[in-house]
Amino acid sequence: MKSKIIYITAIVLTILYSCYDDKGNYDYIELKTVEISNVYSNWSVPLGEPYEIFPEINYGDANEDDFEYLWIAEMDTISYSKNLSYNFFNTGRFRTVFMVIEKATGARTVLFIDLNVIATFQRGFVILTEKDGNSVIHYIRPKTTTIDENTQLYELEVFEDIYHNNYEDQLGSNPVRLICHYDSEDQILLVQNGGDGTLELSGVNFEKVITTELEFVGNTYPSGFVPLKASYGLYMDVIIGTNGDVYTRKKNSRTFQAVRYPNVAVNDMKAASLYMAPKSNFHLIHDTQNNCFMAVGELRQGTAGRIIKIEMDVEDESNSENFTDLSNLTSDFKLIYSGCYYNPGYNPYFQIVKKNNQYFMQEFNITSNVTEDVLYIVNGTEQLFSEGIILSDDTKYIVNGGQYIYFAEKNNLYYYDRSTSITKVYHQFEANVIITSICHGRDRNEVAVGLDNGEFYVFDVSTRVLASGNSETILRLENLGKVVDVIYKLGSNSNFESYFEAL
């Protein structure tokens, strides 16, 4: 009986199996994929402007109408169009997928790219002018557009009087200088003697952040203090006044205004100048009370704030014989300019100093002793700067790690070749104008020049142009007001350090 049941079951299953209809698709068709070009990573768009990408697609023997498109940024679908035009709401780097999908089969050709959205006013020139008695800020933004894989279009967008136009307010008056400083973003110290006085502007949107007076303990300046200059380090900020008083604040984070300046000045010191080389551990101070150089150290958190003597390294004997003893200056010594070059491990300092009514170029390094209570000048060299050119205390200078030192005296922009010690005129303006400020642009191939007649220029100083013997203007503006200062802001500390290293 049992075997009968098994046989009958087997027969029934066999009969039923013959009824099975295989609906599998064995008519193979070709999946259409495409070739995508003109879609690249590594370019940036300021927040508030559309990110536009125009893909070029080779459809092969297929018809363009047979495809649809999809753009997905960080899991969010941002477009169904072939050409992307999208406004991001935040800054950042967005991992993005571009898909070309064949409608009939769903076959996908996929490309991964990064879309980088930067702060609206991240990089660029900031020009401080005095116009109609007011402090005025103008901003010039570099814009690079990718035309194709090998071509980029570089433009400079101008935002005149950006603070007033954005906030319908005045910045103040009697402007003196701009000083940009960084953490993950940047702030710009506007030193001015009118209006609310010296204050910080946001580097993100140029709005007023805080007056410097409120950055002091007690929310007021110490008696007689008027801000002149400030330098910003990892652990210490230093500010000096027109009266030479020096105030230091020790930071517990890189965050702006996390701490306030004390109302007690560094004793026994009057600063005529203040300079901190990028990525260095010292704020250098020319102390006119004691005719020497001193430093506020910040080698490490624990010792940051120490007031350190600077001495000549006599034992090392690396300094040239004619190098001025910076620990024992004569009363006629005057520091005109401080700068530095980038070099991994240490930064060679560059100074223009005035002695005996002559201008000398100094280059040197600074090393520390083991206990970090003395700094030594080493490898110092000194020579007359740009012999034959009439210089003054108002001559403007910029240095970089390259071959040339640019400087401006009255209406002439010069460049000094460090390898040949030859000075040449790059551009001569009309005789009745004075160059009031110069700075580098996006790299060492750009020099910006501000004039007292309200004009502003960005010059191409690439090797090609220098070799031609003629200046080449990238941008010219006028009617800005008397230019007081020009800086190039970088938007963040990491950008600043990369920029410095590239210079």
Partner 1 sequence: MKKIIIYIVLLCVVIISCDERQLTTYDGDIFIQFEKEYSDSTSLMFIYFPDQDVIDWPIVLEIIGVASNKDLTYKITVNDNLTTAESNHYSLSNEMILKAGNYRDTFNIKLNKTPDLDNKQVRLFLQIEATSDLHVGKIEKSMQVINFTNSVSRPAWWDSDMTTMYLGTYSDKKYRLFIQVTNEYDLSDKDMSDIRSLALQFGQYLIDNPTLEDDGTRMDVTVLGLKWD
Helix (H) / strand (E) element for 205: namely none
Q: Select 8 or 264, whichever has its Cβ closest to partner 1.
A: 264
Q: Select 131 or 306, whichever has its Cβ closest to partner 1.
A: 306
Backbone angles phi, psi at 2, to 5 degrees: -60, -40
Q: CA torsion sign, 306 to 400 to 44 to 160?
A: positive
* Residue of the chain from 254, 260, 279, 410 that contacts partner 1 (CB under 8 A): 260
* Residue of the chain from 11, 31, 104, 264 that contacts partner 1 (CB under 8 A): 264
Task: Provide, rounded to whole angstroms, the least separation between the CB of residue 264 and partner 1.
Answer: 4
According to the binding rule CB under 8 A, does residue 250 interact with partner 1? Answer: yes
Among 155, 193, 161, residue whose Cα is nearest residue 177: 193
User: In this chain, which stretch among 24-32, 57-65, 74-82, 253-261 interacts with partner 1, using CB under 8 A?
Assistant: 253-261
Among 92, 57, 65, 59, residue whose Cα is nearest residue 76: 92
CB burial of residue 93 (10 Å; 0-12, 13-18, 19+): middle
User: In this chain, which stretch among 35-43, 100-108, 244-252, 439-447 interacts with partner 1, using CB under 8 A?
Assistant: 244-252
Among 138, 168, 171, residue whose Cα is nearest residue 156: 138
d(CA 122, CA 205): 9
* Residue of the chain from 57, 111, 204, 307 that contacts partner 1 (CB under 8 A): 307
| Token pair recorded at residue 79 | 């477009």
Q: Select 295 or 474, whichever has its Cβ closest to partner 1.
A: 295
According to the binding rule CB under 8 A, does residue 252 interact with partner 1? Answer: yes
| Token pair recorded at residue 144 | 């690079």
User: In this chain, which stretch among 263-271, 318-326, 337-345, 393-401 interacts with partner 1, using CB under 8 A?
Assistant: 263-271
Among 161, 162, 188, residue whose Cα is nearest residue 176: 188
Q: Select 263 or 423, whichever has its Cβ closest to partner 1.
A: 263
Q: Select 301 or 463, whichever has its Cβ closest to partner 1.
A: 301
According to the binding rule CB under 8 A, does residue 384 interact with partner 1? Answer: no
According to the binding rule CB under 8 A, does residue 262 interact with partner 1? Answer: yes
According to the binding rule CB under 8 A, does residue 255 interact with partner 1? Answer: no
According to the binding rule CB under 8 A, does residue 285 interact with partner 1? Answer: no
Strands 227-232 and 236-241, bridge-based pairing: antiparallel
* Residue of the chain from 47, 266, 353, 438 that contacts partner 1 (CB under 8 A): 266
* Residue of the chain from 142, 305, 339, 401 that contacts partner 1 (CB under 8 A): 305
According to the binding rule CB under 8 A, does residue 306 interact with partner 1? Answer: yes
According to the binding rule CB under 8 A, does residue 263 interact with partner 1? Answer: yes
Using DSSP's 3-state secondary structure scheme, residue 474 falls into strand
User: In this chain, which stretch among 57-65, 176-184, 193-201, 261-269 interacts with partner 1, using CB under 8 A?
Assistant: 261-269
Among 405, 427, 296, 271, residue whose Cα is nearest residue 341: 405
According to the binding rule CB under 8 A, does residue 116 interact with partner 1? Answer: no
Interface positions, 160-219, toward partner 1 (CB under 8 A):
217
Q: Are the C-beta atoms of 154 and 146 separated by less than 8 Å?
A: no
DSSP secondary structure letters along 33-81: --EEES--SS-EEETTS-EEE--EEE-TTS-GGGEEEEEEETTEEEE-S
According to the binding rule CB under 8 A, does residue 248 interact with partner 1? Answer: yes
According to the binding rule CB under 8 A, does residue 303 interact with partner 1? Answer: yes
Residue at token pair 């940009």:
180
Task: Provide, rounded to whole angstroms, the least separation between the CB of residue 190 and partner 1.
Answer: 22
d(CA 60, CA 367): 65
* Contacting residues toward partner 1, per CB under 8 A: 217, 248-250, 252, 259-264, 266-269, 296, 303-307
